[in-house]
Chain A
Amino acid sequence: MKELKVLLQECITLTDEIYNAALIEDRNQIRSKSAQLIHRLNDSFPIIIEAGLKISPVILERTEKLLGATEVGDSIGTMDIVRFEIKSILEEYLESIGETFE
């Protein structure tokens, strides 16, 4: 559970970093941080299942959306996806394991 908490917190931090990079349209940072986020999310999925939690198909869909937005260079879309579409789900996972983002 502790490992999941660390992974989720890392993902949330990455969403903020991507948001800030998108705010100033720093494409290199957006790309590299998004790749890191997707990598961390993939790492967290088996642990989420192990913890008895359900992986919402929405997060998979939104991860794909993020890939699409970063690919075309849509910084506004990237900001919206990470902050309002992915981060909220990650926070819900944290809550469901009885944790909050530190």
Chain B
Amino acid sequence: MNDNNLLIENLEVIKNCDKLLYDELVKYDLESYEVENVETELSVDNIKIVKAFINQFEWYFNSKYQAKNAVKEWADTLGKIESTAVICMFGMGNGLYLKEIMDRSYQSVIFIIYEPSIQIFLKVMKEIDLSFLDERVYISIDGINDNYFDAYFQTFTTYSNLSVCKYLCHPNYFECFKEAGKRYLQKVKRGIEVLEAYTNSDIRLSEAYYRNSIYNLKFLPDSSILEQIQKVVGTSIPNDFPAIIVSAGPSLKKNIKELKRVKNKAFLIGTDTALKGLFEESIIPDVIVTIDSNKNPKKFEDPRTDLIPMVCFETSQNVILEKHKGKKIFMNDTFGFGDEIFNKMGFTYRYWSGGSSVATNAYAMAMAMGFRTIILVGQDLAYTNNERHYEKGLGNSFYDNMNNDSIFIQVEDVNGEKITTSKDFKIYLDWFETEISLHEEIDTIDATEGGAKIHGSRILSLKEAIDAKCTIEFNMEEYMKNIPPLLNQEKRRELSKLIRDIPKQFETLSEDADKGFQLYKELILELETEKPDRKKLLKISKEIGEITDKIEITKTYKVAQHKLKAIEYIALSNLGISADDATEDALEVAKRGIVMMDSLRQALETIIPQVKQAVE
């Protein structure tokens, strides 16, 4: 087979296992690409091996004598590869080392390869059969798609598999490509740091989710829900009336003053971080959206926020909800008790797939209300002029504090140039683009005048958008303030009773956790006997299964689970390391089970008095 045939076949392999890499590779004229300083030859055991001339030295990446055997011996030094492992490897060479570890691994193992040499990669593509590659392999090539490495790393590495991941280097690669090797190590190091930051943030947020969902319970009886204003555009609100979502991107300073003329000509939605800027210009939004469970209450210091209707989650920052005296409209994020209680009372209270930022949730709300024109302002989703927010130094996330390029990516900006964005912004950008493509009936206008291009939206200046779309008069402020509470007096009493019953549900959960704890104890005792009684083991396991199922379906457990996140982190941190025999494995699982049950019992000792206090 000639070079080009193999190249075409290998490209097809890449296309099937890593479409993103394929899309990058086909941008090059690979067939006529002249590979320099890299050659192949046959080893004594008849394997096509690669050699490269780098820094006046001839480097081989496989044994010239027994290429196959050397690879096997190398793989023997790696130890056991667990089923949940992610294998990161610097260099692919001729693929022989990669193939060996793939053959030795479970189908669930993921391989992330960082290849520093495009020359070697192309030589291999042209001359070596890569049909062994499959969808488990993600290749990132220096200078082609090396920015994907971080995304792959963060996608597949979690705190539960971190301890079983392996970070390898193809023999001779590190010496040969020292600078790229340092970059690879830096990327891995940073990837682990980001993972830890996310994990810590998850643990931190979990406590906040728990706290807020408990202490916000009291607002439910007198509040409204998003379902009450679903599809109101075209009936209660004029058909072509637009919504404007104001976010706090750095471009907001360019056009914020334009918003002064939209009062009663658009539904002005202020996201929490944009409030300060709006108030400084004396612009009062018709509604505020706040979803963050740890949002800084200082954003709500201005007394003007107190009476503006607020759209929030049950897990939104309780301190903000306490201070706010106006109408509250809840959106179901499924974490709180409303999800169960309202539905039990016969109301539809559904989960709205609103992405994960306040702006995406504001957009989901506008869609739910039926707005056909949604104008985005301050929605940069990128670091316009190296700033993240409209107000300088405001709300810096950990991204801002990390001096690295590994978590930043380049995307197209509104002018067709490149702009730097972060992974979290990219997630929001993708969310917008997906929703826009799914709802072609909505005219989404990006009037940010800067930032990342939101594909599918129309790009206009805010002035143009307002001139074209804000032509109808309607008092949205009045409309929002007049939304009635969901419940009448009688239903309110019913809801209050259901809320007062919640502590009892937690007490039942505590009893079940205790039962589970005792069962795990029995299981461990039996497993530790010289000859465990199989029948008894099965009986205990069955009972554990039943009690676990009973616990896991309850809302109380889901809420308590947030408080358990830190313990779960510890219990899961070694998950994936399997013992050498089945009894040891079962013992390990039982020991973790007992830790979780005991942690749940202990957590409930704190939770129950707090819940009682919250619902009084």
Do the beta carbons of B172 and A83 come within 8 Å of each other? Answer: no
Asked if A25 is an interface residue, CB under 8 A from chain B, the answer is: yes
Given known A-B contacts A23-B70, A23-B73, A24-B77, A72 and B174 have beta carbons under 8 A apart:
no
- A34 part of interface (Cβ distance < 8 Å): no
Query: Is B398 interfacial (CB 8 A cutoff)?
Result: no
B61 within 8 A of A: yes
Q: Flag if B172 contacts A74 (CB, 8 Å).
A: yes
With A and B bound together, what is the CA distance between A74 and B53 in angstroms? 13
What per-residue 1/0 map shows which CB atoms of A69-85 lie under 8 Å from chain B? 00011111101100110
- Given the complex, which residues of A lie within 8 Å of B62, measured CB to CB? 76
- In the complex, chain B residues whose CB is within 8 Å of the CB of A77: 59-60
Q: Nearest chain A CB to B92's CB is how many angstroms away?
A: 15
Number of residues of chain A lying within 8 A (CB) of chain B: 13
Task: Say yes or no: B65 contacts A76, CB within 8 Å.
Answer: no
Q: How far is the CB of A21 from chain B (nearest CB, A)?
A: 11
Interface of chain A residues 28 through 64 with chain B (CB within 8 A): none
Nearest Cβ distance between residue B43 and chain A, in whole angstroms? Answer: 10
**B175 sits at the interface (CB 8 A):** yes
Q: A73 to chain B: which residues have CB within 8 Å? A: 172, 175
Question: B351 an interface residue at 8 Å Cβ cutoff?
Answer: no
Report the Cα distance A72→B70, complex, angstroms.
Answer: 20
Chain B, 145-177, CB within 8 A of any chain A CB: 169, 171-172, 174-175
List, in ascending order, chain B residues with CB within 8 A of A24's CB: 74, 77
The reply to whether the CB of B63 lies closer than 8 angstroms to some CB of chain A is yes
Nearest A residue to B57, CB-CB: A72
In the bound assembly, the distance between CA atoms of A14 and B206 in angstroms comes to 57
Contact with A76, one of B61, B73, B169 (Cβ below 8 angstroms): B61
Tell me, in angstroms, the Cα distance from A83 to B63 when the chains sit together.
10
Nearest CB in chain A to that of B169: its residue: A25
Query: Is B77 within 8 A of A72, CB to CB?
Result: no
Give A77 to B63 CA distance when docked, in angstroms: 7
- What is the CA–CA distance of A58 and B478 in the complex, to the nearest angstrom? 96
Known contacts A76-B61, A80-B60, A80-B64; decide if A23 and B175 are in contact (CB<8 Å): no
Contact in complex: A25, B171 (CB < 8 Å): yes
Within B451-505, the residues touching A (CB, 8 Å) are none
* Per-residue interface assignment for chain B, residues 48 to 75, with 1 indicating a CB less than 8 Å from any chain A CB and 0 otherwise: 0000000001011111111000100110
Residue of B nearest to A73 (CB): B175
A83 touching B57, Cβ below 8 Å: no
Assembled-state Cα–Cα distance A72/B172 (Å): 10
A74 touches B57 (CB 8 A): yes
A23, B74: Cβ atoms under 8 Å?
Answer: yes
Report chain A residues within 8 Å CB of B57.
72, 74
Q: Are A74 and B169 in contact (CB under 8 A)?
A: no
| A38 CA to B73 CA, complexed, in Å | 25
Q: A23-B74, A72-B57 are in contact. Are A84 and B172 (CB under 8 A)?
A: no
Contact residues in A for B64 (Cβ distance below 8 Å): 80, 84
Measured CA separation A20–B558 after assembly (Å): 52
Closest residue on chain A to residue B77 by CB atoms: A24
- Chain A residues near B59 (CB-CB < 8 A): 74, 76-77
Contacts of B175 in A (CB 8 A): 72-75
Residues from chain A with a CB closer than 8 A to the CB of B65 are 80, 83-84
Alpha-carbon distance between A73 and B172 when the two chains are bound, in angstroms: 8
Rounded to whole angstroms, the CA-CA distance of A83 and B44 in the bound complex is 14
Minimum Cβ distance to chain A for residue B75 (Å):
10
CB distance from A45 to the nearest CB of B (A): 25
Residues on B with beta carbons closer than 8 Å to the beta carbon of A74: 57, 59-60, 172, 175
- Within 8 Å CB of A83, what residues of B? 65
- Distance between Cα atoms of A77 and B60 in the complex (Å): 7
Determine if B70 and A79 form an interchain contact, defined as CB atoms under 8 angstroms apart: yes
Q: Please, what's the 1-or-0 string for B64-101, where 1 marks a CB less than 8 Å from any CB in chain A?
A: 11100010011001000000000000000000000000
Complex interface bits, A5-25 against B, C-beta within 8 A gives 1, otherwise 0: 000000000000000000111
Give the nearest-CB partner of B54 in chain A.
Answer: A72
> Chain B residues with Cβ under 8 A from A84's Cβ?
63-66
Residue of A nearest to B70 (CB): A79
Smallest CB separation, B524 vs chain A (Å): 38
**Contact A76/B77 with A23-B70, A84-B65 known, Cβ cut-off 8 Å:** no
User: In the assembly, what is the distance between CA of A19 and CA of B77, in Å?
Assistant: 13
User: Chain A nearest CB: distance from B179 CB in Å?
Assistant: 14
Q: Are A25 and B61 in contact (CB under 8 A)?
A: no
CB distance from A93 to the nearest CB of B (A): 20
Q: What distance in Å separates the Cβ of B81 from its nearest Cβ neighbour in chain A?
A: 16
B residues less than 8 Å from A72 (CB atoms): 57, 175
**What are the residues of chain B within 8 A of A80 when measuring CB–CB?**
60, 63-65
Q: Give the docked Cα–Cα distance between A76 and B70 (Å).
A: 9
- Tell me, in angstroms, the Cα distance from A72 to B65 when the chains sit together: 20
Query: Are B174 and A76 in contact, CB atoms less than 8 angstroms apart?
Result: no
Contact B60 A75 (CB under 8 A): no
| Nearest CB on B from A69, distance (A) | 9
A90 to chain B, nearest CB (A): 16
Could you tell me if B63 and A79 are in contact, using CB atoms closer than 8 angstroms? yes
Residues of A within 8 A of B73 (CB): 23
Query: In the complex, A83 Cα to B73 Cα: how many Å?
Result: 13
- List B contacts of A75 (CB < 8 A): 171-172, 175
Nearest CB of chain A from residue B435's CB, rounded to whole Å: 49
Bound state CA distance, A13 and B474, in angstroms? 91
Q: How far is the CB of A22 from chain B (nearest CB, A)?
A: 8
Given A74-B60, A76-B70, 18 other A-B residues pairs in contact with their CB atoms under 8 A:
A23-B70, A23-B73, A23-B77, A25-B169, A25-B174, A73-B175, A74-B59, A76-B60, A76-B61, A76-B63, A76-B171, A76-B172, A77-B59, A79-B70, A80-B60, A80-B63, A84-B65, A84-B66
Instruction: Give me 13 A-to-B residue pairs in the complex whose CB atoms sit less than 8 angstroms apart, sorted by A's number.
Output: A23-B70, A23-B77, A24-B74, A24-B77, A25-B169, A72-B57, A72-B175, A75-B172, A76-B59, A76-B61, A76-B70, A77-B60, A79-B70
Interface residues of B (CB under 8 A from A): 57, 59-66, 70, 73-74, 77, 169, 171-172, 174-175
